[in-house]
Amino acid sequence: MTPHTAPNPQEERRMATFDSFHLHPDLLKGIHDLGFLRPTPIQAQAIPAVLAGRDVIGCAQTGTGKTAAFVLPILHRLLQGKRHGQLRALILAPTRELALQSMEHLRALSRYVHLKGAAIFGGVPMEPQIKALSHGVDIVSATPGRLLDHIYSGRIDFGSLEVLVLDEVDRMLDMGFLPDIRKIIRLLPSNRQNLAFSATLPSEIVSLVHEILRNPVTIQIGQKSSSAAGIRHAVYPVPRHLKTDLLLELLRTQQMTSVLVFTRTKHYADRLSQKLERAGIKVSVLHGDRSQSQRLRALERFRQGRARVMVATDVAARGIDIDDISHVINYDIPETPENYIHRIGRTARVDATGDAFSLVDRTEEPLIDAIEKALSRTLPRVTLPHFDYKRPPPQRPYETHARHFPRRRR
């Protein structure tokens, strides 16, 4: 891969504005309406490379503006052509939230542009998607499985496709989408521009990139495994049975206005949310067993502040595009440093600040050690001065003395 070498990236970003990219005037009107002036580092380096027609792999932490880094130059490219209503750009994403996020960016940035897009994903009825495809679209943002359903039903024609985007490609590989991605790529025109964006760049992604991208420009923003600069980390050692009590204490004593809490399983996300609600805290829940309408309602309640806390599994580590999350709390420690980075990237978005707290029992200390090694730093340990860490776990009824009761004969 050919590295992209800007003469001075910091100086380049300081001087760059969206106007300096010479984007289509109708796109610039939309950008200015949104109040954007200067691009983020990934946008400052990726947009010119994409506009130049290069294949690009962009690696940057979550929350740094990767979606706009490819949506803007794709919209500019499509506006130069006259084949409106024909599928010319395909974005593959690992989750329905990310597929929707790309479409939301497209709609926000193209308010003065007559281009149509559709988000294609599973878990919802196919009829609205079939209707959108039948009316003609310029861009499709899709999860691989549902896209293949439409392809095999003959509803999608790739004959005019010009650009393929693999969004959060590391997550797609983690979720086992590689076979579906290969099937889709075999159906695409060979003469196309390829873009891959990711929060991390492990070796298996590099191999995939060599297969799909041609002489790509590689843009690496920050270290390969690093969190956003504005995040304040803290580790709270606590016995497992006291995690919920400690979480409630933090919610009472800290200035937590918008809190995203991660659990490892869907079952415990539901259980924890019920406990928080019983304590009088307004909660949304987001995980893979929720229907699409439930997931959208949960996100909207959290975005509007009607739910102060959202409890989620890692399905939400990508695709939550909410600017004002004040705290991310790892109720369960993620199994890899990469997942830790993805989770906490939901706070301190773009150049803001935020807090990442991790509630750690002693069995999870090796996971924290791995995270610290990846970040090349020791995370501070914190204890609450008035919290009782020595309370024993609650006993189930008859648990201790059950052996003293003779089994009833039938």
Any idea where the domains of the chain sit in the sequence? Answer: 2-220, 231-375
User: Each residue of 29-48: pLDDT tens digit?
Assistant: 988 888 787 898 899 999 99
- Tell me, what's the pLDDT at 47? 95
Element (H, E) at 328: strand 327-330
Selected from 3.10.620.30, 3.40.50.300, 3.40.50.970, 3.40.190.10, the CATH number assigned to the domain covering 231-375 reads 3.40.50.300
3-state secondary structure of 309: strand
Cα distances (Å, whole numbers) of residue 404 to 316, 338, 399, 408: 48, 49, 10, 12
Rounded CA-CA distance 113/95 in Å is 26
Q: Which of 99-108, 134-143, 204-213, 395-404 has the highest mean pLDDT?
A: 134-143
| Domain spanning 2-220, CATH class | alpha beta
Average pLDDT, the chain: 84
Residue 143 pLDDT > 70? yes
User: Each residue of 380-390: pLDDT tens digit?
Assistant: 999 998 899 98
Element (H, E) at 354: strand 354-360
- Tell me, what's the pLDDT at 109? 84
Are domains 2-220 and 231-375 of this chain identical in fold? yes
